[in-house]
Structure 1
Amino acid sequence: MSDTTVTKNDQQSRYEAHVDGELAGFTEFRREGDVVVMPHTEVFDAFGGKGVGSDLAQFALDDIASQDLPVRPDCAFIKGWLDNHPDHPVKVV
């Protein structure tokens, strides 16, 4: 069983997923005023289909919601995740 860890990398404006210590993917963010814009998510081929994208989305959106900030999901993956999780507490604009 692999161990997935998601962290926020403020220097590169992205959340990163590591599987067994190896970078497996990331989702980018930027602040536009009081809104967090999420333009892109990428999971590397070797880690596709293993839930890495979902782990990234949930961690990032949980973090944003904990700061009481709204999110604008320009990334199709993030938008799809939110569509599949309508009860998530993050505010979408």
Structure 2
Amino acid sequence: MASVTPPGLAYEVEHDLANHRFQARVQGHLALLDYQIKSLKRQKRMVITHTEVPEPIEGRGIAGELTKVALRYAREHKYKVVPACAYAEAFMQRHEEYDDLLAG
């Protein structure tokens, strides 16, 4: 598992590559973003399947940070993104700077 924590973040974001997950442990609670990598013709796609932030740590922007880290990873690896979970879809709709990543 590799740390991919953006500068200035108060908690550590880890990339569990084997389980296709970005995660952060905050005050003993595990927040996560799950994804799958799929190949379609010559294009690889990152399908964001699930985000979850436990209730005791909700409202702190943790899901947003996990999503930003996942999208940065997708951009670095030239993946197009399919936001299959409601949170990731809403996040990408609110943040036009990620429009270039959306799978057609």
Question: Same fold by TM (over 0.5)?
Answer: yes
- Which of 38, 41, 58 is matched with 2:51 structurally? 41
- Which of 46, 67, 70 is matched with 1:60 structurally? 70
User: 2 CA distance for matches of 1:58 and 1:48?
Assistant: 17
* 2:32 is aligned with 1:26: yes
Question: Equivalent pairs: percent with the same residue?
Answer: 21
Q: 1:17 Cα deviation (Å)?
A: 1.5
Q: Which runs of 5+ in 2 are unaligned?
A: 1-8
CA displacement, residues 50-86 of structure 1 (integer Å, 9 cap, x when unaligned): 1111111111111111111101110110111111111
Q: 1:90 Cα deviation (Å)?
A: 4.9
Q: 1:5 Cα deviation (Å)?
A: 1.6
- Name the residue aligned to 2:4: none
CA-based RMSD: 1.8
Q: Secondary structure at the match of 1:3?
A: coil
| 1:36 alignment partner AA | M
- Name the residue aligned to 1:71: 81
- Name the residue aligned to 2:24: 17
| 1:6 alignment partner AA | V
CA displacement, residues 5-46 of structure 1 (integer Å, 9 cap, x when unaligned): 2121012211102225x3431010111111111111001111
* 2:94 is aligned with 1:84: yes
- Name the residue aligned to 2:11: 4
* 8 Å Cα contact 1:3-1:19 kept in structure 2: no
Higher relative CO (Cα under 8 Å, sequence separation at least 6) belongs to 1
Rg larger in structure: 2
| Segments of 4+ moved more than 2 angstroms | none
| 1:77 alignment partner AA | Y
